[in-house]
Amino acid sequence: MYSRAYSNNDYESVRDFLNELYILNKNQHSWLMARWEYAEYFVSPLYTIIGRDNWISTMRLWINDDFKIVGIIHSEEPSEEAFIQIHPDYRHIEKEMINWAEKNIAFKTDDGTKKLVIHCHDGDEHREKLLKGKGYKKSDRFEYLKWQTLDKEIEDAKLPKGYSIHSAEDGIDVKKKNKCVVSAFNNEDYNEIEPDKEDISIFKSVENAPMYRKDLEIYTEDDNGDMASYALIWFNPVTKTGVYEPVATNNKHQRKGLGRAVIIEGLKRLKSLGAKIAYVGSADEKRSSFYKSAGFKEYDVYRKWVKEID
């Protein structure tokens, strides 16, 4: 057993590892491959633009005697937050992984303190006990994970008068996509790197992701050609799963059912591709209620455990 840095040549091995974990894991959950691709092709480039290191610098792989990946620890942005992906037969190495993260991922925050956040699913008694023993405290920050099965008939998406639904197969204006997502999330990081809403390179980069499909990049627009809502969906044919990331509705077009429309259209397309389950994540009650209205049910909760590092 040994550990080493991640390289781009490890992509296929990571993909196979995460797909295996999806099949093996029960209450000790791991990332879906879709989240890995979104992090690599959108989130990490977004933060690299504003001067932070690429997220690859925060990754460490643990390799067993058969030269197979059995554990990964990494950030997402990068930031002070660390995520653990681990084979259920190798949970004894988690302490070593967290020790590495405390030295290599812990981040000095705006208030001058150096912190590390470890994500842990509710019900993971092994990790909770380990984190408590190492001085971590459970915070009130969380992320809901939701899912719905696709073994039922899916209704057609309903649109109000004056709107139509499309996919990137019909063509997509990246500047309009940028405007829709920025408006929906009103995210300071988006605004920092794109103050004039014209730098669209970050929204083009996801098209290079191996799992990207034009038919699963869905949007609505009004009669004036303004993009009203948007969803990017990731389909994994190995696990037969779909993941929504992101889903956005322009502030000017909210409360018209347009966000729900791109979700429903996506569910129909996923089912036609052979997907069995669709997933989505949300970090607040408002978005959680929205996804519930589109048929998603709570699957799990990520909790953030925090420790100040000396």
Confidence tier at 50 by pLDDT (50, 70, 90):
low
In a domain? residue 294: no
Does the pLDDT at position 29 exceed 90? no
Say how many domains are in the chain. 2
| pTM score of the predicted model | 0.90
Question: Based on the domain organization, do 122 and 77 belong to the same domain?
Answer: yes
Q: Is residue 284 part of a domain?
A: no
At 205, the pLDDT band (50, 70, 90 cuts) reads: confident
107, 178: one domain: no
Inside any domain, residue 287: no
pLDDT at residue number 27: 60
Give the separation between CA 194 and CA 190, rounded to whole angstroms.
6
Q: Indicate whether 112 and 190 sit together in one domain.
A: no
Query: Which pair of tokens denotes residue 163?
Result: 């709107």
The mean pLDDT value for 238-248 works out to: 95
Burial of 237 (0-12, 13-18, 19+ CB in 10 A): exposed
Residues 251, 160 within the same domain = yes
Distance, in Å, from the CA atom of 275 to the CA atom of 173, rounded to the nearest integer, reads 28
Average pLDDT, the chain: 89
Find the mean pLDDT for residues 160-186.
Answer: 91
Which of the residue ranges 60-64, 194-198, 235-239, 292-296 would you say has the lowest mean pLDDT?
A: 194-198
**Do 140 and 188 fall within a single domain?**
no
Contacts of 49 (CB under 8 A, 6+ apart): 193, 202
Q: Is residue 290 one of the residues assigned to a domain?
A: no
Q: Are residues 161 and 139 in the same domain?
A: no
Minimum mean pLDDT range among 26-35, 84-93, 257-266, 271-280: 26-35
pLDDT at 188 over 50: no
pLDDT at 108 over 80: no
Average pLDDT over residues 227-242: 97
**Residue 11 domain boundaries:** 2-145+302-308
Window from 63-77, 152-166, 186-200 with minimum mean pLDDT: 186-200
Q: 165 lies in a domain?
A: yes
Helix axes 285-293, 258-273, angle to 10 degrees: 60
Are 71 and 110 found together in one domain?
A: yes
Q: Please check the confidence at residue 148 and state whether its pLDDT lies above 80.
A: yes
Q: Does residue 280 lie in a domain region?
A: no
* Residue 235 located in a structural domain: yes
- Least reliable range by pLDDT among 50-59, 74-83, 168-177, 194-203: 194-203
The domain that holds 237 is classified in CATH as 3.40.630.30
Arithmetic mean of pLDDT, 263-271 = 97
pLDDT of residue 197: 43
Are both 130 and 165 inside the same structural domain?
Answer: no
Burial class (CB in 10 A: 0-12, 13-18, 19+), 253: buried
pLDDT of residue 78: 60
- The model's confidence at residue 204, banded by pLDDT at 50, 70 and 90, is confident
Whether 114 and 208 map to the same domain: the answer is: no
How far apart, in Å, are the Cα atoms of 186 and each of 41, 79, 182, 190, 193? 21, 20, 5, 8, 13
